[in-house]
Amino acid sequence: MTGVVLCGGLSRRMGRDKGLMVSGKRAWAEIIREKFPQRVTPAVLSINAGQRERYLSNFRDKDLVVDNAALKMQGPLRGLLSVHLRYPNHDLLAVACDMIDMSPFVLEKLLKEYAASKVRAIAFKGDRIEPMCAIYSSQGLAGILSSYHHNDPADHSMMQALEELDAAYISIPAEWKPFFKNYNRAEDVNAPTS
């Protein structure tokens, strides 16, 4: 199982790169990476080509997976498939870099449920589905990639990928909702999480 911190967004609403924002002297991308259980290895950062030089100031080159230029799509699915191309036999545990309140025991629950199932993808579901905190199987991602190459579907979203993979869902208990907060705007950073 490979961990993937999804950092490749343009951060337009935040106004700066969310993966490199700092809390407690650590970049958000590093905060998320440290939450992966030890058996999730390697843990890499999915970034776009324009971020590479900035990320090399904080991370090793081998920890970065730059979006594959051959994938003519945008969004986090491009990042996920780029990591799949580097580690084609690894299932991927993906978490967005701005979910800095995520708890390691939530990720442990996801891993446990995935191991006990025969699904090609598993994600959390509360008021909405959480495709940016989910496990995508190598087999499922290979199918998504094949579909992309043969059909080039218009929708290259994580939600569409979960649908195509007939994902299983874990209900989010009310007390876990704060763990799934996304920090999208500067004002969100100082806002309470509950």
Residue 64 lies in a domain: yes
Asked if residue 111 is part of any domain, the answer here is yes
Task: List pLDDT tens digits, range 63-96.
Answer: 999 999 999 888 899 999 999 999 999 999 999 9
The number of distinct structural domains making up the chain is: 1
State the Cα–Cα distance between residues 77 and 156, nearest whole angstrom: 7
Q: Is 194 a member of any domain?
A: no
pTM: 0.91
Tell me the residue range of the domain where 167 lies.
Answer: 2-188
Q: pLDDT digits over 104-122, tens only?
A: 999 999 999 999 998 999 9
Q: What confidence tens digit (pLDDT) does each residue in 149-164 have? A: 787 655 678 999 999 9
* Bond into 178 cis (ω within 30): no
Contact indicator for 140, 89 with CB cutoff of 8 Å:
no
Q: Is 20 helix (H, G, I), strand (E, B) or coil?
A: helix
State how far the Cα of 90 lies from the Cα of 152, in Å rounded to an integer.
24
Residue 193 belongs to some domain of the structure: no
Strand segments, DSSP code E, in 58-163 are 64-66, 92-96, 121-125, 129-136
The DSSP call for residue 172 is P
- HEC profile of 22-86: EECCEEHHHHHHHHCCCCCCCEEEEECHHHHHHHHCCCCHHHEEECCCCCCCCCHHHHHHHHHHH
Owner of token pair 């959480």: 130
If one compares 13 and 37, the residue with the highest pLDDT of the two is 37
Q: How confident is the model at residue 194 (pLDDT cuts 50, 70, 90)?
A: very low
More reliable by pLDDT, 147 or 12: 147
Residue 183 falls inside a structural domain: yes
Assigned domain for 175 exists: yes
pLDDT at position 154 = 57
Q: What is the CATH number of the domain that holds 134?
A: 3.90.550.10
**Confidence check: pLDDT of 10 > 70:** no
